[in-house]
Amino acid sequence: MRAIIKEDAQPVEVARAFNVSRESFEKLQVYVDLLGKWQKQINLVGPKEYSRLWSRHIADALQLVEHIPPETSCAVDLGSGAGIPGMIIAVVLQERGFHIHLVESNGKKAAFLRAAIRELGISGEVHNARIESLHGQSWTGPVELVFARALAPLPKLLELSVPFVEKSGEMLFLKGLDVDSELTETTKYWNIGYEKYPSRTNVGGCILNIKDFQRVPHSKQC
């Protein structure tokens, strides 16, 4: 089992743990600085979270990278907030032409995301809308991958995510201690194939990689 990233880990230590290139590291530092400036005006992360942005939040995103299939070129980040994980992943995978769709309903956070895309020069689009309102729209075809972090319980996450994912696509969710009970509840509504990987930032947490998904016939979520 790989070591958990310590809360007091320095940026260089986090970058080294996930094999982040020098160019990507420099861009992530630009992201951190930009977030710090915007944080003075709007609440992008919790009051105590900026000091552990690298060790808790950026690391949370970086641990997903090794689970992204190498042929993946486009993904959707639902409830993107400050751009974690989607923005971080787009920076690290920029050289392979990775494109990210960031979905965020809060107008001020969406403005930050647009500013960050311009500043970092990554390939991405921001959709300032509720997730459900984008279902069925032609803003993008089905994508290969969907991310979500701290957004909703798993049954609801699938309800939100599946309309964006192509049939052969996957979903990567960062989940906490309740993941097993969420999986049990999910089986009432969905037949899924998945893998769990231990989190490197949250003891007891995991990365949930859903690779197959089909709604249970005649099931209906509340």
Among candidate residues 164, 102, 110, 171, the one with its CA nearest the CA of residue 138: 164
Q: What pLDDT, on the 0 to 100 scale, is given for residue 138?
A: 64
The token duo for 161 is 């995510």
Share of the chain above pLDDT 90, in %: 82
Write down the pTM of the prediction. Answer: 0.93
Q: What pLDDT, on the 0 to 100 scale, is given for residue 3?
A: 78
Q: What pLDDT, on the 0 to 100 scale, is given for residue 139?
A: 65
Q: How far is CA 64 from CA 88, 93, 148, 187, 196, in A?
A: 10, 12, 11, 24, 12
The token duo for 111 is 């403005």
Please name the fold of domain 11-215.
Rossmann fold (3.40.50)
Q: How far is CA 33 from CA 26, 79, 82, 148, 206, in A?
A: 11, 22, 13, 24, 28
The token duo for 68 is 């992204």
Q: How far is CA 169 from CA 16, 94, 165, 166, in A?
A: 29, 20, 6, 5
Q: What pLDDT, on the 0 to 100 scale, is given for residue 150?
A: 82
Spans of the chain, pLDDT less than 70:
1, 138-140, 221-222
d(CA 121, CA 115): 10
Q: What pLDDT, on the 0 to 100 scale, is given for residue 1?
A: 56
Q: What pLDDT, on the 0 to 100 scale, is given for residue 46?
A: 85
Residues 197-214: tens digit of each pLDDT: 999 998 889 999 999 999
